[in-house]
């Protein structure tokens, strides 16, 4: 059966490649018959400006939907997958689908792959082009009025998710943490396969297994302090699964094929879960979207899965993160495209900050201060934080705030008090902005977070004199400090974060802050900003003297911070651990040098 489906998939891919090879027009629209869903045509629009027929299908499409605004810049072409510093998640060399995948999974996956993979490639190509346009001066902006923004449409918010005053989030591969989050009393828990889980086959597989066990209420861990096995307590907590983003790929499942990682993750969960025994519908947290059109990809994924499982089309529900700068201008259109599935939107502030830097990388006015000197209510956050509830409540959806990075500590009383004070202030601000809840990452944060939101939700509230199109790019003037010490702290953090990833940890508690891929991206982009605009923007040392941020200085700082880490930690006495730390340092600096900023 597996070989039959692989043959069908191979034949379908051959037909697509044949069309690609014959393409000689700058724009070509293809419609193919889907062998698994005969009534569903596959429409794929690409630009093939100068693409060679021999170009492998596994390379990212670099020639993208052209407009009259800019021309492709070869220097900004996306890196080939084989040249990337962070490798693609690949099944292990001894991978055997009959042994390592659920029975029948490839048959379930194949039609989804055939229908949605090329669409993912096209959407990613459009992302690359939007970024290139921004760097050329055409920055993201609001779309013209449409049915999504002018019609009076609303979703019907289900009772089971009406109270989401705190959504606790954490890596799905950590069974201890998953059980603790589900037993924390938080109204919602998001189990993460993305930023806080190391993107490798081992940890992704473990995360999916834990998600399935959690959904079934069977997940346990052994508490060594209490010498007992701890399971999940009965509760009404809503469990969300965050798959990897649409920008990521999964290799090694089908020979010679790359799958969208999002597709693989959602399909693995949906294929194995018992829908009839769930306390609430299967809930997906959509990450890293960059346009309203991407919502259609997710809609079709959800509805194709429902059809394959013999379920109603709207069986899968979702929330979505607003964590990219271009999506902030298309929030209403995005939600409209998912109106049969969506229950709310979340402001993913740290990825949003990274995206804001990335899309304004060529503008010296956007060189940000040291990250931990930027207030949580800075205008570029606050304007979006006010807009999101207005849009969500207009259409009956929840608006959820972001994560407070400073974590409490049960060992350090001073840090604990400071962290909980910052948490209360941060969540109160989001509550006053009419958010319906927020994110936390530690069980000790739940009670304080929930208490800042006095009612289960604020759906009936709308801001007075709301601006439907606020400025989402207010310059970061008059806030924070730009210092050499901040650059050092950034370098120290990216080395330690990458070291954690190489040791299987997608999130690490560093200097009291929980750092994951989002904050790693922020720091790498900030370092790049400071090098790029060193002639226009002053970065001051402890004496107030400007320090030019040349590549040579950054290399020197990387060397010094690596030496300091080796000296100050036990790693220096462990040759293997020291070598991993050196590798983390080399990877981090090289990612900055090559401008490899995509969230991978």
**pLDDT tens track for 343-394:** 999 999 999 999 999 999 999 999 999 998 999 899 999 999 999 999 999 9
pLDDT at residue 429, as a whole number: 94
Most confident of 5-9, 99-103, 406-410: 99-103
Q: Identify the structural domains of the chain with CATH numbers, from first to last.
A: 2-135 (no CATH), 157-370 (3.20.20.360), 484-593 (1.20.1220.12)
Alpha helices by DSSP H, 245-328: 261-272, 293-309, 325-328
HSE toward the beta carbon, residue 343, CA cutoff 13 A? 25
Q: Is 205 a residue whose pLDDT tops 50?
A: yes
Q: Is 449 a residue whose pLDDT tops 80?
A: yes
Q: What is the pLDDT of residues 454-470, one digit of tens each?
A: 999 999 998 887 899 99
Question: What mean pLDDT is predicted for residues 433-453?
Answer: 94
Q: Is 15 a residue whose pLDDT tops 50?
A: no
Question: What mean pLDDT is predicted for residues 416-429?
Answer: 93
pLDDT at residue 401, as a whole number: 96
Q: What is the pLDDT of residues 553-573, one digit of tens each?
A: 999 999 999 999 999 987 778
pLDDT level of residue 47 (50, 70, 90 thresholds): very low
**What proportions of the chain, in percent to the nearest 5, are helix, strand and coil?**
45, 15, 40
Q: What is the pLDDT of residues 458-504, one digit of tens each?
A: 999 988 878 999 999 999 999 999 999 999 999 999 999 999 999 99
- Give the span between the Cα atoms of 88 and 258, in whole angstroms: 10
Measuring CA to CA, how many Å separate 342 from each of 168, 190, 336? 19, 15, 9
- Give the span between the Cα atoms of 451 and 428, in whole angstroms: 9
Instruction: Report which secondary-structure segment, H or E, holds 333.
Output: helix 331-337
Q: Is 9 a residue whose pLDDT tops 60?
A: no
**Between residues 284 and 47, the one the model is more confident about:** 284
Q: What is the pLDDT of residues 290-310, one digit of tens each?
A: 999 999 999 999 999 999 999
Bridge partners of residue 579, in order along the sequence: none
Question: What mean pLDDT is predicted for residues 161-186?
Answer: 97
pLDDT at residue 81, as a whole number: 65
Question: What mean pLDDT is predicted for residues 245-254?
Answer: 96
Rounded to two decimals, the pTM is 0.87
Helices and strands (H, E) in the chain, number of each type: 18, 17
- Give the span between the Cα atoms of 185 and 420, in whole angstroms: 17
pLDDT level of residue 11 (50, 70, 90 thresholds): low
pLDDT at residue 372, as a whole number: 87
Q: What percent of the chain has pLDDT over 70?
A: 86
pLDDT at residue 70, as a whole number: 35
For residue 240, what is the DSSP state? E
Which regions of 20-82 does DSSP assign to beta strands (E)? 27-33, 41-47
Among the residue ranges 283-287, 427-431, 460-464, the one predicted with the least confidence is: 460-464
Residues 6+ apart with CB under 8 A from 12: 32, 35, 114
pLDDT at residue 7, as a whole number: 52
Q: Is 320 a residue whose pLDDT tops 90?
A: yes
Q: Is 28 a residue whose pLDDT tops 50?
A: no
pLDDT at residue 600, as a whole number: 63
For residue 581, what is the DSSP state? H
Average pLDDT value over all residues in the chain? 88
**What DSSP line would sit under 92-118, residue for residue?**
-TT--HHHHS-TTHHHHHHHHHHHHHH
pLDDT at residue 466, as a whole number: 82
pLDDT at residue 42, as a whole number: 43
HSE toward the beta carbon, residue 306, CA cutoff 13 A? 18
**Between residues 15 and 141, the one the model is more confident about:** 141
**What DSSP line would sit under 474-517, residue for residue?**
---TTSS--BHHHHHHHHHHHHHHHHHHHTT-S-EEETTEEE-H
Measuring CA to CA, how many Å separate 86 from each of 75, 341, 498, 499? 20, 33, 10, 13
Bridge partners of residue 188, in order along the sequence: 167, 238
pLDDT at residue 37, as a whole number: 47
Q: What is the pLDDT of residues 155-168, one digit of tens each?
A: 999 999 999 999 99
């Amino acid at each position: 059966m597996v070989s039959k489906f692989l043959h069908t998939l191979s034949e379908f891919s051959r037909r697509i490649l044949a069309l690609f090879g014959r393409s000689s027009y700058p724009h070509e629209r293809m419609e193919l018959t889907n062998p698994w869903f005969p009534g569903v045509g596959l429409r794929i629009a690409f630009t093939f400006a100068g693409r060679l027929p021999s170009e492998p299908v596994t390379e990212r499409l670099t020639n993208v939907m052209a407009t009259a605004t800019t021309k492709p810049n070869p220097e900004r072409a996306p890196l080939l997958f084989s040249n990337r510093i962070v490798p693609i998640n690949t099944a292990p060399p001894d991978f055997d689908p009959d042994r390592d995948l659920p029975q029948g999974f490839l048959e379930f996956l194949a039609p989804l792959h055939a229908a949605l993979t090329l669409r993912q490639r096209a959407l990613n190509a459009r992302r690359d082009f939007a970024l290139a346009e921004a760097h050329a001066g055409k920055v993201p902006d609001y779309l013209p009025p449409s049915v999504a923004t002018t019609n009076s449409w609303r979703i019907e918010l289900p009772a089971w998710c009406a109270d989401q005053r705190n959504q606790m989030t954490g890596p799905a591969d950590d069974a201890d943490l998953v059980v603790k989050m589900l037993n924390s009393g938080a109204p919602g828990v998001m189990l993460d396969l993305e930023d806080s889980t190391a993107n490798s086959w081992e940890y992704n597989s473990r995360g999916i297994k834990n998600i399935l066990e959690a959904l079934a209420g069977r997940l346990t861990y052994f508490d060594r302090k209490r010498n007992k096995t701890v399971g999940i307590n009965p509760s009404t907590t809503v469990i969300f699964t965050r798959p990897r983003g649409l920008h990521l790929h999964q290799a090694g499942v089908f020979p010679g094929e790359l799958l969208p990682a999002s597709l693989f993750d959602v399909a693995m969960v949906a294929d194995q879960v018992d829908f009839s025994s769930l306390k609430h519908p299967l809930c997906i947290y959509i990450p890293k979207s960059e346009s309203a059109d991407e919502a259609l990809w997710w809609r079709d994924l959800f509805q194709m899965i429902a059809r394959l499982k013999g379920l109603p089309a709207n069986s899968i529900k979702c929330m979505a993160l607003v964590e990219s700068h271009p999506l902030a201008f298309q929030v209403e259109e995005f939600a409209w495209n998912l109106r049969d599935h969506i229950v709310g939107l979340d402001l993913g502030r740290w990825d949003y900050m990274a995206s804001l830097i990335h899309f304004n990388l060529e503008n010296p006015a956007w060189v940000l201060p040291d990250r931990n000197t930027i207030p949580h209510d800075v205008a570029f956050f606050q304007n979006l934080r006010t807009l999101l509830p207005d849009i969500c409540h207009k259409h009956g959806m929840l608006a959820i705030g972001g994560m407070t990075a400073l974590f409490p500590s049960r060992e350090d009383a001073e840090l604990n008090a400071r962290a909980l004070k910052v948490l209360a202030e941060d969540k109160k601000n989001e509550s006053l902005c009419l958010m319906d809840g927020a994110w936390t990452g530690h069980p000790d944060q739940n009670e304080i977070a929930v208490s800042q939101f006095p009612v289960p939700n604020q759906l009936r509230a709308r801001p007075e004199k709301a601006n439907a199109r606020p400025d989402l790019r207010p310059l970061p003037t008059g806030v924070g400090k730009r210092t050499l010490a901040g650059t050092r702290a950034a370098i120290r953090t990216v080395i330690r974060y990458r070291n954690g990833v190489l040791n299987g940890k997608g999130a690490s508690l560093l200097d009291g802050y929980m750092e994951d891929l989002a904050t790693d991206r922020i720091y790498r982009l900030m370092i790049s900003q400071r090098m790029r605009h060193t002639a226009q923007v002053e970065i001051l040392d402890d004496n107030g003297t400007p320090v030019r941020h040349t590549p040579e200085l950054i290399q020197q700082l990387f060397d010094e911070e690596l030496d300091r880490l080796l000296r100050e930690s036990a790693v220096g006495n462990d040759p293997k651990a020291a070598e991993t730390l050196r590798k983390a340092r080399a990877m981090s600096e090289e990612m900055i040098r090559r401008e490899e900023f995509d969230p991978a």
